[in-house]
Every structure is written in structure tokens, then in C-alpha cells.
Chain A
Amino acid sequence: MTRMFGEPVTRVEDDRLLRGHGAYLDDLGHDALACAFVRSPHAHADVLDVDVTGALDVDGLVAIYTYEDLPGRLAEPLPLLIPHPALTHGRTQYALARGVVNHVGEPVVMVVARDRYLAEDAAERIIVTYRPLPAVVGIPAARAAEHLVHPDVPGNVAANLVQAVGDVESALAGAAHLLELDLSIERSASTPMEGRGVLARWDPESHRLRMWTSTQTSTGVRAAVAAKLGLALVDVDVITPDVGGGFGVKIMHPWPEELLAPWAAMLLGRPVKFVEDRREHFISSAHERAQQHHVRVGFDNDGHVLGLDVRFWHDHGAYIPYGLIVPIITSTQLLGPYKPGAYRVEFDSLYTNTLMVTPYRGAGRPQGVFVMERTMDAIAAFLGLDRALVRERNFIRPDEMPYDHGLMFQDGRPLIYDSGDYPASLEKLKKLVGWDEFEHVRDAARADGRRVGIGLACYVEGTGVGPYEGGHVVVETTGKVKVATGLTTQGQGHQTVFAQIVADELGVPMADVEVVTGDTRRFGYAVGTFASRAAVMSGSAIALAARAARAKALKVAAEALEVDAGDLEIVDGIVRVVGSPGAAISLGTVAVLSNPLRYAFDDAAKAATQFAVGDVSKPPVAEDDEPGVEGRGFFSPMQSTFASGMHAVVVETDPDTAEIKILRYCVVHDCGRLINPRIVEGQIHGGVAQGVGGALYERMVYDEAGQLQNASFMDFLMPYVSEVPERVEIDHLETPSPLNPLGIKGAGEAGVIPGAAAIASAIQDAEGFAITAMPISPSDLFELRRRHERAARANGGSHERSTAE
């Protein structure tokens, strides 16, 4: 039988999705009432009055709710999901605004009506009277704190956190050279093609709530909903339907709408559905990425970093329900594959009157990598050294693994790299992109009047974060294998890769394996899909569950065949004696025999009934045993497992228009062993596209009044096919993880993490001056050119190492 693990198997999800038979949230619940919200048009305002009179005439109106209607725990602020000792001033929103609104888009009034058109009609006619307050927008305004977002949060600082290893000030003082850099990254967002949605059905007869939500964590939503609505956990089902992309934004929970829709369903005795539109996604889901950094780095003549001091400011918007995860990831993953001697990182997480910030693919790493990699380039430029060489000199060596940085990671555990071979990755990358020969490419281009540049960036990513995931595998009497895990899927092909794992572990054809994810009815203990953890966590758990099921099957079969379990193998769903073609029994039959029956429900089941089998000297089910061929497994690692990678980019910039074109995009990627290479490659492609978007196109533009000026696809620019490189050249390294049974590492976010850094590096190489802010548009580049030309003229000639004419 072919081994499935490592094979680029065609996805089992595809057939029905290609036929248009997907079941995304809005495809469900045609009988449900619809919701619309009146959302704040102001970034900061007191809510003085809500007048619903005008809405009463709308045909099909069912209900109108404001904060005053919320009972019990629903009237409390939404949960602060991830507390941290440094998060001294955490503030979260109310499900509906309570007297004050803190960002454009904050929900104030909820309308329920027969359909969405009518709900919006009613919402439009509701008059809310606001008293606008000064809005705090952008990091400089937040820091200056002339106005406060929350009156009881001084300086708009939710948290200040310092992590340090070694004595950075001495290291900097003693270093031969010192550089200071100011770097900034703009706000962007996950922007999946499908927005958020919730469908809730309340059954008063059984007193149970059933919800569907387009989420990355069905167990998280279930727990929050049960808590806020005063329901027992066993009375709440949360099912994740097909999800049209998440990219981080859908890990945030509970959205106000995720609480309000089920609450309304209970009140009204009708199913209630909320599906946001695109504008709502822009102004009321979540953003990420905005940070400003100040770096001081001390290094020697060879480019070894002796001391690194990073001070940064993180804009987390009006509320901070997800805690400090993003800036903590920035703080720790900034180090990448390097060992910088002494390191100190300090950040302030700041409130602004803008949409809240929760993780977006990369979750703080793109910012950290941008900072570290610009710093490396700056060091190389200063010393006149090759940029790859400077990095190579600072790498952690393979024989230094596991490497303890002495810092605490986002999972509350020590930052210890378990495996990785950075020098080998760099070698592969240099070869792939032709790093050493690029001089010739550049010269040839220059001769043609063209401007090209090459850049690179390295990153390390902590994947497979805990606390745990679980898996369940059961063999049914038909021989079919049903698998369940609690985390969710948003296009990563979990139904395929987990089936591959089970097919191998159990010895069954993939076609006989069916996988369900994200349904609390099928598996109730889970954390969620984020931090590139699903394959590591659920893959491992499912492998363990399958092994347990296999052991059980062999035990039952051994008894039936009267052989030793050690002499048996399972191939293509048949349990047989190794080397002996005759003695065999199908897994389905084994499942029948594993469950001693009184009642035969079909012909096959007769074999397990009490007069057919059984040893009267023993109980039908042994004391330490259970009926059935099932396995349940949980995987809970000591720490994350660290994937890594490096990207190299060749760009061309137009000397006149400053347009930026990507000529080549090369990726070397180490995510340990690959379950399905095609799916991993797809994840990299997608990540690279988001990296390109973040480097060149995507930014949320808030004006000083806190109005989001580009809250639509017309003005928030995401890459089409024309914006992505024509090829993404990928080479793999596989340093297996020692931390899980499959030896794998996460791959989901890899593509996006170093994108901005690598592209900035290449543009800098093409232009000859430093790129310190992303994204960079042609206009930005044009402006930068002018500024540098002016500066160069003012200084009587160029002083920067120039690679372009």
C-alpha cells in the first residue's frame, strides 16, 4: 500500500466545493431572521440618545436592542481573553455600546428583521444622537496623550513590557560601532474573502442552543457563549461550517454579534442569522500590523551584533481583548535565527480610537522580522559587507540547538528553538536566487538603463503552540473510519492531511477515512486554528488516536484469529498475519467483534452476539477495556516547535515612475516533515501574496478624525494576479521537529512573515538608500528618491553606497 504521508494527494474537499456545494455560513439558515447594526459613525463620542421611532414603520421589523436590553453577564464587558501581568489597563467593549463609542464601526443598536434589506432599512431610520469627543488616531497622537481614549487609562498605555537578556547598555557602550534606526509598519488586515457570520438556533424543548459561526475556534466561542448567556456547556453546540478564509481575524471571539445573535434567538424563539457586509468587516472586525520601532544596535567590525536594544510602540486600537500576543510575538520573534549577544526589548501597547488589533497571519512576526532584517542590512551597508554574510555570522549554529534565548514566548513558555539549520537554509537560498552572481545581473541591467536590486530576509516562527489539541478515531462496522478533531478549517485542507495521517497509521485506504473539524458535537476539547498549529497539534493528536485504535483493532483481531497481535498488520483495511495470505479479517468485522452485542442490528452484527462469541470464563468486556475500535488522543507539547525560512527577492524599480516590479521571488522553507507538499506549497503561495500586499499595497488609512478612508476593496488594495510574482521558487529543508510524534512544524504563516523585509531589502539595493517604512508605494518611493537626491546635493555629492544610476 502506498504511504500517504508526504504525498501531494488531491484534496478530498475539492469536489464538492468546485460544484458549488460548499456550505458557508450564509448558505445556511434560509429561514432565519436577519440582523443589521447601527454602528458608530464617530471615532469617539458619547451616546446621548437612541430614537427608534422612525424604524417602527418598516415592514418586517422584529426587534430593536440597545445596551439597556442586555441582561446579566451579557451586560458585562466582553472577555479579556489572554490576560498578562503587564496588561495593567486592559479594556474591552460592551456587546452594544454603553454610553460611549470608541471607534467608527462600534455597534450601538441591533436590529432584527425578516431579511437583511429590511433590517438595514430599519437601522437607517434609527437616529442616534452623539456628542463627539476628541479622537486619538495614530501612534504619535496616542503617545502624546493630549487626549485619552479611555478616561481611566493614563497615557493611553494598556501595557508596558520589558524583556531583557544580558546587559545591553554595556554591550552597546563597548561595541565598536553603534547604529540607530527608526522603522515603521502600517496597519493592514486579514481581509478574508468571506466575512464574519453567525447563525443561532434555540430549541426551547430541549433547552439547547445550536450555533454556526465562521470562526477559527468553535470551542472558544462555545465557552464564551455559554458563559455570557448562562447556559451549560453541554447545552451549547458550535459548528464551524465551510469558512471562506480566516487568516487570523476569525480567531478573535466572541464578537458582539456571536453573543447577540444567539441571545436574540432565545428571546424571539426564531433562528437568527448575522452576516456582515464588506464595509462592516473593514470597520468592525479587527486589524493588525501598525508599529513604530526605535532600534539601537552595537556591532563589531565583522558585523557581529553585540547588543540590540529595541523600543517600540504598538497600536492596538480601541480595545484589547486579545491581550498582548501580537507585540509579545514581535518582541521575541524579532530575534529570528540570530543570537544578538545582549538583547533588550520594551514596548508600550497603546490605545487609539480605531478598530481593535488582533492577530493577522504572522501575528507580530512580520513587524519583528522587518525590524531585525533592516537592521542587518544597515549593518552590512555601514561596514560595506555582503548582507548574506553579515547574517550568516550572526546565525545560531545547528550544534547549538536547542537554543535558549532566555525570554518568554507568547505561549507563556521559554523561547527555546528546538531545531533548525540556518546556514544550510541560507546556502540553499543563495543558490536558488543566484545571490553571489547577482552583481552581473545588476550591471547588465544598469547598462540597459534599468534599476534592479536583490534583497533577502530570514525568520524563525514558533509554531504548534499549546496548550493542546485532541483527536478521535473510530472504526465503524462498515469499515469506514470516522475522525474528529476540535480545531477548525479555513481552507488548509485539514480533511485531506488528517486523512493521510490516519490512512498511514491505521492502514486503511484514504477514501474510507472521513474527517470532521470544528464541531463541538464531535469533539469538545480544543483550542483553535492559529499560530500555524493545526498540523502539529491536531495531526499529532490524531496520529496518537489512530495508533490507539490500531492497537485495539489488533488486539481484537488477534483474539479472533488466535494469533499474537505482534504478528498482525493492517493493509488496505484488512487485518492479516504478516506473510500469511489466508488468515485475514476486515477492520469492519473487527469493529463488529469489538462490541459484544445482545442485539444484531444487521447481518454482519450477528457475529458479535452473545450466543455466537464469548468466553464464559471472562466478562464480555474486560475491566481495563472498552467496547469498540476507537482511539482518543491528546497532544500537549512542552513548548512550540520552531520552523524557519528565508526569502530572497529581486525587484526592478522604474527610474521615472518609481513603479516596483518583482522579478523573482525565492523561498527556502523549513517546516520539518511535510504531510502534503502540495498543500504546504499552496500555503506558501498564499502567504507570499499577502507579504507582497503588505509590502507594497495594503494599508488602512485613518484620517485624524478616526474615519477609515479606504473601507472597501476599491480603495484598500489587495493583490490581484497582476501584483504577485509570476513564479514563487521554493526549496525545502526538512529539519524534523523532535517535539511531536510526526516530526512536523507549522507552515501556515511562513509565506507572509519576511515579505515586507525582503522586498524592502531589494528596493534598498536597487535605489541605494534605506527603506525604513512599509508599505511602500511608487509615490512613496518617488518622494524618497527626491528627498535623498536633495540631501545628496546639499551634502555636495553622494555619500551612500549607491548601486543604481
Chain B
Amino acid sequence: MTEEQLHDVRLTVNGAAHQVRVPARRLLSDCLRHDVRLTGTHVGCEHGVCGACTVLVDGTPARSCLILAVTADGLDITTVEGLTEADGSLSPVQQAFEDCHGLQCGFCTPGFLTTITAGLRRKPDPTEAEAREMIGGNLCRCTGYQNIVRSVLRAAEIARARGSGS
């Protein structure tokens, strides 16, 4: 009878500590979705190409389908659920997507939101070309990207208006 060794992993997700017990091969994407029960991070390909699974690891976008949960012990992870403001309102990036019709089916959206959130932190005032560059690694099948590019620029605008760095 096969039996996998389980490992105790402490994940910090959106500022909260989660203790999980997982086999070594458990992907972070599966761990977030099924062990921590934060299903906002989606799995589109499991080979790191589509970007739907993108989370922020210590603030940097990373493909959670290419990370083993056991290696995320002690790292600071932000998922789409952690992007909203403290008072529960939508973040500038989330609000921008709503304003600009930047999502249709919504499946790829969490990956874009985390990616852009990090991107705007590094580059709060992107040109259109820079906005395209920022989202150049995420696949979307519904929107054709036009409104996503607009959303990036609108998010920068909202962030400026709110006076925050998003």
C-alpha cells in the first residue's frame, strides 16, 4: 500500500496563518484552493503558461501551479481574495476592471489582478506600451485584452486619485 509522507507547512496567506499537512508533491495552487479553501486562484494549465494561478509571493507574481506547497512555508502569499481594501471595498485594480469591463468569464481574472497589482507597485504610472508589457504573460480567451489594457491604465488613475500606491 502506497502511503505518502505528510509535511507540516505553515502558510501565511493574505496576512493570515494557515497550518496545513500535505504531501511533498502538493502544488501550492491545489493547497490554496483545497486545503486553505481559497478558491479565487484558478488553475488553467498546470504548466505555468496561462497565468491564471498567479499569486504574489513576498509581493512578486509567481505561478502557484509551479510551486510546491512545502516550499512556501514561511513565505508571504497574497491571493486575489487579499487584494480588497481593509474596509472591504475593491482595490484600484479591481475597481478598474469593473469600470472598464475588463473581465467576462472571470476565470483568468485573478491572475491578472495579482500581476497588475504588483506591476503597478513597481510602475505606478505606466504608458500604454508598459501596460501591455505588464500583462504580457497572462492568457485570456474572452476579452481579447483590449479592455484589460484599459483597466491597467484606469487602475493607475484610480490609485493616483485615491492617493495610495495601490
Contact = CB atoms under 8 A, between A and B. Distances in A.
Interface of A: 8, 10-11, 13-15, 17-24, 26-27, 30, 57-59, 115, 117, 121, 191-194, 242-245, 247, 277-278, 490-493, 678-679, 681-682, 684-690, 712-714, 718-722, 724, 726-728, 751
Given A58-B2, A59-B3, A727-B146, 5 more contacts: A18-B98, A20-B39, A193-B108, A713-B49, A724-B144
Contacts of B28: none
B137 interface: yes
9 contacts: A17-B109, A24-B107, A194-B42, A245-B142, A278-B45, A492-B104, A682-B142, A685-B147, A688-B144
Interface in B1-50: 1-4, 23, 25-26, 33-34, 37-47, 49-50
Nearest to B38: A20
Given A193-B108, A686-B142, A712-B47, A21 B40 contact: yes
Given A244-B106, A491-B104, A720-B137, A117 B144 contact: no
Contact of B142 (A13, A491, A721): A491
B138 A720 contact: yes
B138 to A, nearest CB: 7
Contacts of B128: 726
Given A20-B41, A690-B141, A277 B147 contact: no
B105 A491 contact: yes
A19 B139 contact: no
Contacts of A722: 132, 136
A8 B4 CA distance: 53
B90 A15 contact: yes
B96 to A, nearest CB: 10
Interface string B50-79: 101000000000000000000000000001
A13 B138 CA distance: 22
Contacts of B34: 30, 115
Contact of A687 (B106, B144, B147): B144
Contacts of B107: 22, 24, 192-194, 244-245, 491
Given A242-B106, A724-B144, A18 B113 contact: yes
B156 interface: no
A490 B106 CA distance: 9
A622 B37 CA distance: 52
Contact of B141 (A191, A714, A721): A191
B45 A685 contact: no
Interface string B112-142: 0100000000000000100010011111111
Contact of A277 (B38, B46, B52, B94): B46
B55 to A, nearest CB: 11
B153 interface: no
Contacts of B33: 26-27
Contacts of A15: 90, 98
A456 B49 CA distance: 33
Contacts of B106: 13-14, 17-18, 22, 242, 244, 491
A280 to B, nearest CB: 11
B80 interface: yes
Nearest to B138: A720
Contact of B42 (A24, A278, A682): A24
B45 A713 contact: yes
Contacts of B38: 20
Residue from B45, B136, B138 with most neighbouring chain A CB atoms (10 Å): B45
Interface in B78-113: 79-81, 83-84, 90, 94, 97-99, 101, 103-110, 113
B28 to A, nearest CB: 14
A712 B147 contact: no
Q: Return the 3 tightest CB-CB contacts between A and B, nearest first.
A: A20-B40, A244-B107, A491-B105
Contacts of B99: 10
B149 interface: yes
Contact of B98 (A14, A30, A278, A679): A14
B3 A714 contact: no
B36 to A, nearest CB: 11
B45 A712 contact: yes
B148 interface: yes
A718 B141 CA distance: 8
A15 B41 CA distance: 16
B42 A679 contact: no
Contacts of A690: 141, 144
A720 B39 contact: no
Given A491-B106, A492-B104, A721-B149, A712 B79 contact: no
Interface string B137-166: 111111111111100000000000000000
